A and B are shown apart, each in its own frame.
Chain A
Amino acid sequence: MAISGWAPHHHAPTGETASADEAADIFARLSERPAELLRFATAGSVDDGKSTLIGRLLYDSKQVLSDQLEHVEQTSKRMGSDFLDLSLLTDGLRAEREQGITIDVAYRYFATAERRFIIADTPGHEQYTRNMVTGASTADLAIVLIDARKGMLPQSRRHAFISSLLRIPHLVVCVNKMDLVDFDEDVFRGIVEEFEGYAAKLDVPDVTFIPISALLGDNVVERSGSMGWYQGAPLLYHLEHVHIASDRNLIDVRFPVQWVIRPRSGSGDYRAYAGQVAGGVLRPGDEVVVLPSGRRTKIAGIDTFDGPVEEAFPPMSVALRLQDDIDVSRGSTIARAHNQPTVSSSFECLLCWMSEQPLSTQRRYLVKHTTRTASVSGVEMRYRIDLKQLHRDETATTLELNDLGRVLMELSSPLVFDSYRRNKVTGSLIVIDQDTNETVAAGTILDTETETRNASPAEARPAQSPNVRWQRSELTRSARWESLGHAGATIWFTGLPGAGKSTIASAVEERLVTAGRAAFLLDGDNLRHGLNGDLDFDERARSENVRRTAHVACLFAEAGTIALVSLVSPYLTDRKAAEMLHAVHDLDFIEVFVDAPLEVCEERDPKGLYARARAGELLDLTGVGAPYEAPTKPDLVLRAGRSTIEADVERVLDVLAARGLWPSH
């Protein structure tokens, strides 16, 4: 055998290492390889040890093959390291090895018995916002690395911010190099607190903190022996088990046409429209509309190479046959007739600028969106987001490399789109410079009504009508509350329809009123009979419903009443806005999550809503036809049905007591 580092490891023929039974067993397991795929992005500042962490994940989960390992051993020695430098597994290109940093997005693959993984390894250096955006655009989860010795850096904030902008559902903060701070719990706690304070302002649904040492392997694959105080799971376990709330939108049918399939000449009049389903479930017989033309027809059949199928959903690639011979070509989008995306040649979007050449009105740009490309006729700068301070710079007139900003985009022809928040495929775009052909920016389309206030999360700006001034009252709040003998506040009950929100809220109301406190139940259904009677159930109307209710609750609380809001309020950002509104008015806001599994709610179904939704009579019922975003940090979680109503009421009163709003026992 060769003595060089390249010594090959010929594995023995299978018969020598495994019996026939064992082989059959391995094969059975292989054919059941986990289908579930988690794509995650890693980001960290230079020297946070990101490459080492990835190397450690691969090495400890036994994904490093012997020739790769020998290569690392050799190079480690040559570079003067006396330990195995696992970062060499991932720092691939020559330039980065020379500079000792990662300069581009690199992809890694590994699998465990639970899941398959694709890692988008992105550099965290300040200049590389664009790489982070690139890697994060397809990720289900993002890992942000923080050096325990340095704590949160501006980059850490930037990474969290970008994750929230791109709506990555899960964020894992790895506090690395714990070995260099003597595995001190206080150091970890301090960073967690700081990060949480920051993340509260962002739209990040799920944040997990893990103290690790990538160099030594603590809490990466194996639980650390040096941090007994940490009760959570090691990183790999978390990656294997985190619930991947499906990104797929199964509600809104969206099918951008990529390609028209016609057979070789002379073999019939077959014609089908090929593409990848971007949303919803398509079935033969469905009535559909072709946009932007607006022509209606029905799906005659759904074809694949392996034969026709009865339904198609994301991310299937199929070909649709239509009943009528209407004009459909690449760039058309097929949707359900009663649930259509927006067709417009102007929209608001957030851009991440990726080119050395700044945004300029002198240059000619194209927008590529789904399968359509259109030229840009005007870009109006709204503001630049200052990533250091996280505030809006409304004086900005351009965007430079790695800048993020909001613009109004005008195109020469219309696009067929949704907001990015509703659908990542039909809500994302890239901007191309027509002269250099460079990809100069990535953009997410905003839902103008609801996302205006969320685009820059650090600010909560109450919507104001121009020319209306606030009528100041001479009476102070404290005088009012003193006279009443108690303070006002809002308790906000959120949860799926049928979870038991109203039952609990009215029990709390009764208890408070019996005790001589002013309390009033603002029930979502009841408000829709009057104040919100003009509102529909689409995303925008739901947001407006929450906004109005929040304002009413605020007034009740101001008046010294405990406002009990019982409202599905499915969107995180809307509830966050309600909370912010109360914060601005210095009023207590208590979020109670009434948690019940969908099946239980459907079983209870006090108003027969689920039955109607399943029968197709009710569209957009939260949980069935529309999404519900569970609170990440509610003040209280009640699991309906787990305990008695009385006990639930007591728990709500305990929270009030903790806030000084109710006498403690």
Chain B
Amino acid sequence: MHVLREAAAEFERPVLLFSGGKDSIVLLRLAEKAFRPGPFPFPVMHVDTGHNFPEVVEFRDRRVAEIGERLIVASVEDSIDDGRVVDETGPRASRNGLQTVTLLDAIAAHRFDAAFGGARRDEERARAKERILSFRDEFGQWEPKGQRPELWSLYNGRIRRGEHVRVFPISNWTELDVWQYIAEEGLEVPSIYFAHEREVFARDGMLYATSPHLQLGPDEQPFVASVRYRTVGDMTCTGAVESTAATLRDVVLEIAATEVTERGQTRADDRVSEAAMEDRKRKGYF
């Protein structure tokens, strides 16, 4: 709450990024705690790849309507139509990388100077060094060596025109903290976080939902399994885990017992190379 209020007070045009995923659900609740009964001093924005899970998109719209705030949807589809980016092709095509361009375009178009995100330092090695207020240059790029030191809880929010910051209020939370908070606050999450029957296929040791956005390889056979998602992202790179955890309680138990990190288990985008996340972050990804 302290971070949200500081950033809202110091920036002229902040925006809160909301994907419908668990971390951004927590963020939305924290914003309610920080600013109610007043309105949010910023709109809510989602970067939609067009390949998102329909359950999540439905949830996103409903949740933002419930709290009565303004939703902006920045669409990768539009970026493709505008010729800003070109869709990848082939069986491993994903729009995950394209999001970055759409996000940066949207930030520029709306002249946002601060974007709240739900990234956490425990997710990945490159994120462990991320600041709470992360400075991005006019091209949206992240320079790990050029970040400002953060002392006590004093944040330096001064930027030049064209530059922006990413603000990560739940930087210091772990995956388990997030789920416990969701349980304590009784927050609703999209149904795909709970076990459900789904047609999936195995690829590189992960389970992917069959969808029009993913081409099956010659040896890839779809089958039905009881699965749930640990992270919510683009359908083309977000894998499911086999699970029977149908309630919040089961999910918390399952995470407490897990042996694999959420990104290692379910995110193909981080497996590309040893420093995959670091490289994407430099370009402007979260």
Interface residues of A in 5-19 (CB under 8 A from B): 6-11, 13-15, 17-18
Given contacts A317-B34, A437-B159, A14 and B152 within 8 Å (CB-CB): no
Given contacts A2-B205, A429-B154, A439-B156, A27 and B149 within 8 Å (CB-CB): no
Q: Contact mask A299-335 → B, CB, 8 Å, 1/0?
A: 0000011100000000101000000000000100000
Which bracket fits the contact residues of B?
A: 35 or more
Contact A258 B2 (CB under 8 A): yes
Contact A263 B205 (CB under 8 A): no
> Using Cβ atoms and an 8 Å threshold, which residues of chain B touch A389?
none
**Any B CB within 8 A of the CB of A26:** yes
Interface residues of A in 279-311 (CB under 8 A from B): 304-306
> Using Cβ atoms and an 8 Å threshold, which residues of chain B touch A83?
none
> Using Cβ atoms and an 8 Å threshold, which residues of chain A touch B206?
8
Given contacts A14-B250, A27-B252, A354-B149, A65 and B35 within 8 Å (CB-CB): no
Contact A75 B274 (CB under 8 A): yes
Contact B158 A432 (CB under 8 A): yes
Which bracket fits the contact residues of A?
A: 35 or more
B152, B159, B160, most chain A CB atoms within 10 A: B152
B149, B150, B158, B264, most chain A CB atoms within 10 A: B149
**Any A CB within 8 A of the CB of B38:** yes
Give the CA-CA distance A652 to B55 in the complex, in Å: 76
Flag the segment in B3-11, B92-100, B107-115, B211-219 that touches A.
B3-11
Q: How far does the Cβ of B149 sit from chain A's closest Cβ, in whole Å?
A: 4
Contact B33 A317 (CB under 8 A): yes
Q: Contact mask A87-111 → B, CB, 8 Å, 1/0?
A: 0001011110000000111111101
Contact A30 B253 (CB under 8 A): yes
Q: How far does the Cβ of A294 sit from chain B's closest Cβ, in whole Å?
A: 23
Contact B241 A67 (CB under 8 A): no
Give the CA-CA distance A137 to B152 in the complex, in Å: 5
> Using Cβ atoms and an 8 Å threshold, which residues of chain B touch A138?
152-153
In the complex, what residue of chain B is closest to A13 when comparing beta carbons? B244
**Any A CB within 8 A of the CB of B87:** no
**Any A CB within 8 A of the CB of B23:** no
> Using Cβ atoms and an 8 Å threshold, which residues of chain B touch A499?
none
Contact B264 A67 (CB under 8 A): yes
Give the CA-CA distance A103 to B147 in the complex, in Å: 12
Give the CA-CA distance A188 to B60 in the complex, in Å: 59
Given contacts A93-B144, A131-B149, A305-B33, A371 and B129 within 8 Å (CB-CB): no
Q: Contact mask A4-46 → B, CB, 8 Å, 1/0?
A: 1011111101110110000100110011010000000000000
Selected contact of B151 from candidates A8, A66, A137, A274, CB within 8 Å = A137
Given contacts A65-B261, A107-B172, A442-B149, A330 and B253 within 8 Å (CB-CB): no
Give the CA-CA distance A130 to B250 in the complex, in Å: 44
Q: Contact mask B158-175 → A, CB, 8 Å, 1/0?
A: 111000000000011010
Interface residues of B in 154-213 (CB under 8 A from A): 154, 156, 158-160, 171-172, 174, 176, 180, 204-206
Binding site for A on B (CB under 8 A): 1-2, 5-6, 8-9, 32-39, 121-122, 125-126, 128-129, 144-145, 147-154, 156, 158-160, 171-172, 174, 176, 180, 204-206, 226, 241-245, 249-250, 252-254, 256-261, 264-265, 271, 274-275, 278
> Can you give 17 contacting A-B residue pairs, CB < 8 Å?
A8-B265, A9-B260, A11-B257, A65-B258, A65-B259, A75-B274, A92-B126, A92-B278, A106-B129, A134-B150, A258-B9, A264-B39, A305-B36, A366-B158, A371-B9, A432-B158, A442-B149
Known: A11-B254, A439-B156. 6 other contacts (CB 8 A): A6-B271, A13-B226, A68-B264, A92-B128, A94-B278, A118-B172
